[in-house]
Amino acid sequence: MLDEGARGWLARIESLDRLDGVRTPTPLGTVVNEQGAYLLAGSFVGFLVERYGLDEFRKLYGEGSYEAAYGKPLGVLEKEWRSAITR
């Protein structure tokens, strides 16, 4: 369901960079509509966990580096995610 909801928001955002830059306690809604932000973020996290596994996601969460966790920058992972949810 997250992917379906996220698809409706893809055209409204150029990239996930702005969402990725939000740090707690700042709400995601400060950079894009809150509902859309959580749909996009949830779909992307789900993609990362399903495609690459929970261990890599934990590494990302702990280190904050896509390169360290996945060996790829955010932009490449985002392209893979966008492709996966729009098929």
**Among candidate residues 19, 23, 49, 53, the one with its CA nearest the CA of residue 36:** 19
Between 87 and 75, whose confidence is greater? 75
Cα–Cα distance measured from residue 47 to residue 3, given in angstroms and rounded to the nearest whole number: 9
Q: How far is CA 40 from the centre of its chain?
A: 6
pLDDT in tens, 15-72: 999 999 998 899 988 988 999 999 999 999 999 999 999 999 999 999 999 999 999 9
pLDDT in tens, 28-39: 889 889 999 999
- Ordered DSSP codes for 20-52: HT--TTS-GGGTS-HHHHHHHHHHHHHHHHHHH
User: What Rg, from alpha-carbon coordinates, does the chain have?
Assistant: 12
